[in-house]
Structures are given as C-alpha cells and as structure tokens.
Structure 1
C-alpha cells in the first residue's frame, strides 16, 4: 500500500463496493442452493466471504472505516454463534493490526514535526511499525535518555479520510445492520463523527494520558505510560510490553481472563472517579496484561492502558443518577426508578410507561450487579440482545419508547463495549465490589452525603479557598482539555 487512500472518490468506491459485494454473494449463494448445497452450508460460506471482504476493506482504508470496524468488534460476543463464528478471526485481526504506511511517509511526518534532525531524538528507531490503528501507527524506539518508547505517527490526511468514510458508511448503515442484530449502527457512526476532531488532536490526547499517568502512578492494578513528547502529528510515550487483551481472549488462562476482566471493570468505574475522565475506546487492542509489581498480594497481573485519543470529560465522575437508579432497581423500587428516569430524560414527556414494566426490562440487564461474582459469557449477552431485538417481545416494544439523552450516549456505549469485552473474555468478575467502591450513588449513604453537602453553606473563608482551588485546577491538563 503506497499511502493512506485520501481521495474521497477512491475511498468511496472501495466502501461502495461493500454492499454490492454483499448482494453479489447473496446471488452466488442462491445459485449454490439451486445447485444442491444446503442453506446452512451456503450460509456459512457466505458469511465467511462477507467477513473477509468487509474487514479487508476496513483494514486497508484505515480512517473512519477501520474505526467503525473496531467499534463493531467489541459487540462480536452479542452475535448468534452461527453468525459470530466466521467473523471472529477477522474481527480479532482488525483489533490489533492494519496495513502500514510507507517508510518514506513516516519519515516525512517526523521531519515535518520534529525537524530534519529528528533521528537525534532517538538512540534507535524501528522502521517497521509495531502496530497500526485507525488514524496512526506506532513504531518502537529508544528515546535519547535510554527509555524504550512508542512513537505514534498520524497518517497524512487522516482527518479528511475519517469524515469521508463515516459519511459514506452512514449512507448504507441499514445494510451493515445485520452485523449486530438489534443494534442501530447509524447513531454509532454519528457519534464517531462527533469525536473525530478530538482524536486527531494529539495535544488533547497527551493531556488526558498525562492526567491518568499521574493519578495511577503508584497504583498496583493499573499502569498508564507517561508522555515524553507531543507535537501536532507525533506522540511519544513510554513503551509497554505485556499480553494484548485480544490474545487473552483467544488463548488466555482462566486466571488471566478473570484478572483482566476484574481490572477492566475496575478501570471503567475508577477512572472517572479519580481523574474526571472516561477512557472511551475500550476495544481489546488498547489494553495489555502486565506482570504485577513484586510483593503485590492481589494477583500476578496488572492492566496496561493505551490510547487516550477519545475520552469523555466528567468533572464529577460518572453521574450519580446511574448509581441511584441501579441501586433502586436492585431494591425493586419501580416508582422511584421510573421517576428518576423521567427526570433525566430517559423517558420523554409525551410518553407514559408502566413503572413495573420498566423494572422488568432493566432487571435482566443488571444481573451482574445482583450477585457477588458474575461470569460474563457470550451466551448471556446473546440472550440479552435477542430479548431486546425480538419485535414480538415486550422488552423490544418498551425499549423502542425509551430515550438516551445525549450526555449519556458515550457513557452508554463505553459501558456496553466493556461488557462486550468481558463476555469475550468469559471472565468471572466481582462487579458489585467495583460499583460499591467507585460508582456515585450506588450505596445508600452516598445519597445521604449528597443531601448534606447540598444543605451545607460554606463559611466565607471556605468559599475563598474553594475559588482559589478551582483557579489552580485550571492549570491541570484535564481542565485545559
């Protein structure tokens, strides 16, 4: 591949070939059945060929097409097994790799951003990329101070490519719908478009990663590499080895799966509480299992977290409404849950629902929080997807009447994506422990504390100290981001 395909007409032609190819294979399949092959065998062959073409095109184009493929990949576990089987290998490949851009292009970007003497920054620089993603690729190198580093180089024209791809993909979103039965992919594409400018901005990514690296610097469970250098299209961070989560999903031991799942859930809920930021790209390629520090009592692994290009800014952590509604649902308080959902806009003003029916809709989804330890499986998430997707089911009819407020859209997607990864892992996780430790409002005393804080009037000196403290915080990366 000579370069990232940037011309809209070239990329559009490749993407437009996808639905045509799907239609062509359907005709091929009909011919095979007329020729005597069973529908089941033909169906498997058709899915295999479709998967191969879909992810070959998405991988080659990188940009928004590959970003869309990565976003879909975490929902793989919700697919029925007869559909998921042919897609699984292609999805895993997409999570970890894509065709590299030419060496000359990499050098041109480094010369433009670091100067003609860019090699002086490094003692060593590997020309072959260690990983390639949707908007950039990573090279392994040795920084001038001797530290091993990851050098992230953005593809030239990545912004234009992202917008072009997602515009084109949105035009035939309905054709892509069968990839995830019961899921409307158009809002997913719209949300990806809204996040493009942030993900292209390596300064924002640098600030978000630095904030996490500072907060988790001494953490026994989570490791975030430090940022050593940032310019417009180049980001240099500490290198981390470890086992990619995609490999743990494919071949990990039960201990590794359970530990990875527990730490993934811990990071999902503790990150916003500790940094005011939600890591919003939880596909397996962004996580590593690392050997834990010597002397740790809580298992032999810690979680390495990569890629902070997409974050949701939550200064107060996750909204306490989530914790309150989850706790009240578990306690069977149908009326209170319904009132809270109405107040937050999950139920529109012109719609009236039965509170008990809403409770019945929610309870199976939150089953992992009802027990001390829950084993996430593909069968469980498939049953949830089937329950909501079946047009004949009460859950489907009720779900169509619920609304997702814009402020919850990214939180919702990240949570669902993380659950998808937990199901791919088949991990047994003590989710309730993480909710009690990190989710505001989940414990009843959280609500009491909030009420007390609302009624307390600070002394004049305390108000001054608070104002001065707020002013000081604006110098922190998270605030500037």
Structure 2
C-alpha cells in the first residue's frame, strides 16, 4: 500500500478506541458519584469532582486526536471562557494546546502529498523546505519553506485520509455529545457537530480556501490594521502562502500585556464586522490559533478554511435589532424578530421580557467602553442555561433561523476569545462603522 493510502487508516482503531472510552468513563464516574453520595459527601462537592474528572478525560482524548475530534476540540476551545473557573483553570493549558498542536505526519508522507499535488519535481519550486511542521491542526499541518523567488512561505498540507477520519470522528462524537453539557453550560453540542459535518466538504477543499484567502488578501491589501498573507500557489490538498511572523493569540491570552490584549480584541472585532462588507465573506473560525499579533500592531489572519459567503454584507436586520433593543423599543424588536423568523408563528412571548433577555448580551456595544471578562461570559451562560431562570424559559421559545446559524455561532465564538483576552475598548464604534442598520 502507498504512503498516501495508509497514512490515516493505520491509526483509526486506536482513535475509535479512545473515543469509545468517553461514555464508558462517564458511566464509571457516575457510579463513583452515587457511591460517594451514599457515603455522606455533599452533592455539590461530588458534582464538582465529577466535572473535573469529565473535563480531564475529554481534553486528554481530544488533545490526542486529529480529524473530527480535534476539530470539535478547537471549536469548543473558544467557549472556554464560559466554563466555571474551578473546572476550567486546571485544563486551560490543554485547551490552548488544542488550538496550536497535533501529532505530525511522517516526512515521507508529506513528500508523497507534495509530489501528488505539486508534481514530481516539487522540490524545484522551493529553495528550502523544512520537513518538521511549524504547526498542525485538525485536517492538515503547516511547514515553513523558502519559495524559489526567495520569499518565506507557509506550506499547508492536508492529512491523507482526512475526510474519512473527520466524518468518522464526528459521527462518533455526536453519539455522546451530552457529555460536553457538564463543561459548556447552555450549549447543545449536537447542532454544532451537525454544522461541522455539513461544512466538511468545503473545509477539505483547499481550492475553495485559497480562493477565500485571495479575496480577503485583496480586500485588506495595505490595510493599517489587518494583514492577510497572499497565496503563492495552491492545489486541492496544498496551499502555499506568504509566511506571517507574529505572536500567536494563544500566547497573548496567556502572557500578553494589557495593551496587546486590548489591541488584539479590537482588531478581532474589526475583522468580524468588516469582512462581510469588504470581502463579502465572514471569517468563520475564530479560535486563537488562526491569528497573530504582528510587531507593527496589525492582526494577522492565517486560516480561511471556514468562511461564510455574505455578498451583501452582514444582514441589515441585525444592526437594526441591536439599535432598537438599545433604544428600549421592545415592540419593534419583537415585531422584527417575528419577521426574521426568530419567533415562530403562533408562539406568544412578552415584548418587554424579550428585551430583558437581549439587553445583557448587548452590554459590549451599549456604550463607548466595555471590558470583556470570563466572569461576564460565565454570568451570561449561567443566566441563559439555568432551566429555573426566566431567561432560560424565554430562550427556549425563541428560534434561530438557518440563515443566521453560522453568524450567531461565529459571533459567540469571537466573544469567547475576547473574554479569554480580557480585552477592553470601544466596540460600539466598530459596529457603528461596519454593521448595516445600526446607524439610522
């Protein structure tokens, strides 16, 4: 069998075994919890210990895997700020590793992919190629090289068999998505996995990714705030683009100064809201591994595998709804929510109650200064997730139309990263400039 044919399947048995261990481990922990309660330990203490053990096993398993498990781990990692601190703190380092690391391919497999994608004389296109990967993630890894014209480049190479592994892992994970509920309050992981599965075909097509990167690079050419490396060459399983030097956002989160955190947070917001207006695309994968803070203060964006096509920019009703909610126009907000499908026909909800549900979520743009913190996000997650709360009951009556699903997920994910950054600044001015409908 060729190197390309056997690269991924060889590890499929161990991957399946690790994934299968998750529900078995949960059953064991539940039994342990019942036993400890019978022995007289307080229920809260037992629950906290079960949460910690669940987190430890989930992060350990996801951190060892490529494919869908790695993709889900990276996606969930942006919501780490919503996890209760007593659970999140011991495993924050593991989540950061999910954003930046994965087991590498063997060099001979890398060479086989390059030969297949760039031709048998692929080495002639480079002055130098480093066999050791500079970074690795869910469906591919990146190598540093020097192009034939002397430019430093990043060579993104897809794992052979990635499509099979990705779908197998996501199918497996969807069977016990409920295990994640203990760690991410209010989040239903099953729809998230379904969305990831629906986008697999696009993410595996590096031709589409290269086109998206070209569109962003053209839109932000010579921009003073955001830099997108230009694509040098591309093939269905390989992208060669200009190398971008900078500090990974994960390091800014861990050890960055307040100035770096605030700068990165502001530019993340600028990218999120300006992308649809300038490039007709929404960058849809906001985890920190996809961003760098450059020495000159610009934000570097290095991965475009997940994008949403918004040729007309952000939907205008979003900006209008935010403006009306901040103005306290409860009846208008409810009427527009109905018109856009956020409230299903025949469902009766109270307009002031809807406004009370939304207003805390809009605090970041209610004034010219806001400080994103983990405590704030945990408070919002608890408010919405607690089944006894009015917010939770109302939330279950609302509907998220399919056309808004990805925008909503990316927005919440971006907010999660801002909370990890502990970023403060003027976010209202960003949406005043870039969000259609917000300014009358």
Shorter-chain TM range is: over 0.9
* Alpha-carbon offset, residue 133 of structure 1: 0.6
Q: Which residue number corresponds to residue 109 of structure 1?
A: 113
Which among 313, 324, 336 is matched to residue 317 of structure 1? 313
Cα distance per residue 1:44-96 (max 9 Å; x no partner):
66555544432332233211111101111000101111121122111111011
Given the superposition, is the C-alpha separation of residues 337 and 43 from structure 1 closer, same or farther in structure 2, using an over 3 Å criterion?
A: closer
Contact 1:322 1:441 in 2 (8 A): yes
Given the superposition, is the C-alpha separation of residues 111 and 73 from structure 1 closer, same or farther in structure 2, using an over 3 Å criterion?
A: same
Q: Which residue number corresponds to residue 330 of structure 2?
A: 334
| Superposition TM-score, scaled by structure 2 size | 0.94
Q: Which residue number corresponds to residue 99 of structure 2?
A: 95
Q: Which residue number corresponds to residue 358 of structure 1?
A: 354
Q: Distance in 2 between matches of 1:199 and 1:327?
A: 34
Which among 181, 204, 227 is matched to residue 231 of structure 2? 227
Given the superposition, is the C-alpha separation of residues 7 and 125 from structure 1 closer, same or farther in structure 2, using an over 3 Å criterion?
A: closer
SS in 2 for 1:415: helix
Q: Distance in 2 between matches of 1:257 and 1:334?
A: 35
Q: Which residue number corresponds to residue 271 of structure 1?
A: 275
What is the correspondence of 1:84-233 to structure 2 with a 5 Å cutoff? Answer: 84-233=88-237
Which among 373, 376, 398 is matched to residue 372 of structure 2? 376
Establish whether residue 254 from structure 1 lines up as the match of residue 250 from structure 2: no
Q: Which residue number corresponds to residue 16 of structure 1?
A: 20
Establish whether residue 53 from structure 1 lines up as the match of residue 57 from structure 2: yes
* Alpha-carbon offset, residue 350 of structure 1: 1.9
Q: Distance in 1 between matches of 2:121 and 2:53?
A: 47
Establish whether residue 442 from structure 1 lines up as the match of residue 438 from structure 2: yes
What is the correspondence of 1:269-308 to structure 2 with a 5 Å cutoff? Answer: 269-292=273-296, 301-308=297-304
Contact 1:73 1:283 in 2 (8 A): yes
Range with bigger deviation, 185-194 or 30-39: 30-39
Q: Distance in 2 between matches of 1:96 and 1:63?
A: 14
Higher Cα Rg, which structure: 1
Q: Which residue number corresponds to residue 475 of structure 1?
A: none
Given the superposition, is the C-alpha separation of residues 98 and 44 from structure 1 closer, same or farther in structure 2, using an over 3 Å criterion?
A: farther
Contact 1:150 1:236 in 2 (8 A): yes
Contact 2:51 2:183 in 1 (8 A): no
User: 5+ unaligned residues in a row in structure 1: which ranges?
Assistant: 293-300, 445-481
Which among 68, 71, 76 is matched to residue 75 of structure 2? 71
SS in 2 for 1:349: coil
Given the superposition, is the C-alpha separation of residues 45 and 302 from structure 1 closer, same or farther in structure 2, using an over 3 Å criterion?
A: same
Aligned residues: 435
Q: Distance in 2 between matches of 1:53 and 1:279?
A: 31
Q: Distance in 1 between matches of 2:103 and 2:71?
A: 14
Which among 393, 396, 406 is matched to residue 397 of structure 1? 393
Range with bigger deviation, 255-264 or 104-113: 104-113
Root-mean-square deviation (CA), in Å? 2.0
| Superposition TM-score, scaled by structure 1 size | 0.86
SS in 2 for 1:353: coil
* Alpha-carbon offset, residue 120 of structure 1: 1.0
Contact 2:55 2:183 in 1 (8 A): no
Q: Which residue number corresponds to residue 424 of structure 2?
A: 428
Contact 1:263 1:303 in 2 (8 A): yes
Establish whether residue 412 from structure 1 lines up as the match of residue 416 from structure 2: no
Q: Distance in 2 between matches of 1:302 and 1:121?
A: 30
SS in 2 for 1:440: coil
User: 5+ unaligned residues in a row in structure 2: which ranges?
Assistant: 1-5
Cα distance per residue 1:233-278 (max 9 Å; x no partner):
1110111111100000000000000000000111110111101100
SS in 1 for 2:282: strand
